[in-house]
Amino acid sequence: MADSENGGAAKRLKTDAENDCGDAGEPVSDSLVSDFEISRILRDCAREKNIFIHGKVKDQDAVLILEKTPIRQDTLSELLKSSQLKLEMKNDVYSTYQLQAPAHLNEIKTTVVCPATEKHVKKYLHQEVFLVEESGEDYRNLTLPYISSQCFSVQWVHNILGKKAEADRIVFEDPDPDTGFVLLPDFKWDQKQLQDLYLIAIVHRKDVKSLRDLTSEHLPLLTNIRSKGEDAIQRQYSVPPSKLRVYLHYQPSYYHLHVHFTSVEYDAPGCRVERAHLLSDVIQNLQTDSSHYHNRSLAFPLRADDGLLLKFKEAGKV
């Protein structure tokens, strides 16, 4: 993306003040962080500049995610003018400094899951990963019974669809009960810059769990998400379809159909080939064969302590 395009579009992103608001009437709770008692580090990454911490808030299990945000082009001059510099070393033409930026230009994106279930804790714990190949039959015999008993609550999704949460963050909605969806920023994106643009389209239908349930019956839904989702992102952020990676996860974490829209230049978590299925490929596969996703084998990664991996092992499939 050209800098000028980026800067222009960034100006239309939500302001800090808008971002900091909770849902209507809901005060933002500082104590979730100040009362957080650290138990252990689940994962940290110096390159991604984030850390995932398991702990307790008032006796409740919680996960705290801290992440340094990218440096914003639209606040660069302010950053340079208003920061303090501390020289670390100087040698010939080289010098290094510690730059102390004013607080509002030095934020840490913070996510809290509280109360957190054991599954949340496992999701964020760094673990060995295995690739599993699931046939259509494996899905029906092993995966479906497992996810029906074990999967994450999708209450947050129902809250979004029912406008009980994040209503002020909705970028676009098509209310049609069969082909409609809500498009809003993913909670991984702080909306402060376009480099890591990340939105999700959540379908209104509640009867489609994942890629595996899709048949040609769902083509109007999928094509609608692609065209109206792309149009809405172009309008709101001036990001054209050619700059977007639009895909579904298999396995998803949440079994209510949703589609990820990320910047094509952003190496988003979960965008690798073993988990991401481009929406355009999904549409074409269903146009060719309505039962493509019922029958074909799908590969996906599972963490070492995932109960589903154990099911595949017990069945002699891994």
* Minimum distance of ligand M7G from residue 271's CB (angstroms): 9
193 belongs to an annotated ligand binding site: no
For residue 54, CA distances in Å to 153, 187, 215 come to 19, 19, 40
Size of the site for ligand M7G (CB under 6 A): 12
Q: Please identify, using beta-carbon distances, which residue of 194 and 211 lies nearer to ligand M7G.
A: 211
- Give dist(CA 56, CA 62) in Å, integer: 5
Asked if residue 180 binds ligand M7G (CB under 6 A), the reply is: no
Break the chain down into helix, strand, coil percent, rounded to 5: 35, 30, 35
Give the residue among 234, 175, 227 at the shortest CA–CA distance from 202.
175
Among positions 254, 261, 300, 312, the unique one binding ligand M7G when judged by CB under 6 A:
254
14: phi > 0 → left, psi -120 to 50 → alpha, else beta; which? beta
Among positions 197, 200, 201, 286, the unique one binding ligand M7G when judged by CB under 6 A:
200
Contact call for residues 115 and 60 (beta carbons, < 8 A): yes
98 belongs to an annotated ligand binding site: no
For residue 58, CA distances in Å to 36, 39, 120, 174, 305 come to 8, 13, 18, 40, 28
Asked if residue 188 binds ligand M7G (CB under 6 A), the reply is: yes
Asked if residue 155 binds ligand M7G (CB under 6 A), the reply is: no
Q: Please identify, using beta-carbon distances, which residue of 10 and 257 lies nearer to ligand M7G.
A: 257
Residues that bind ligand M7G (CB under 6 A): 156, 166, 184, 186-188, 200, 249, 252-254, 270
Catalytic residues: 258
Q: Which residues are annotated as a binding site?
A: 156, 166, 186, 188, 249-260
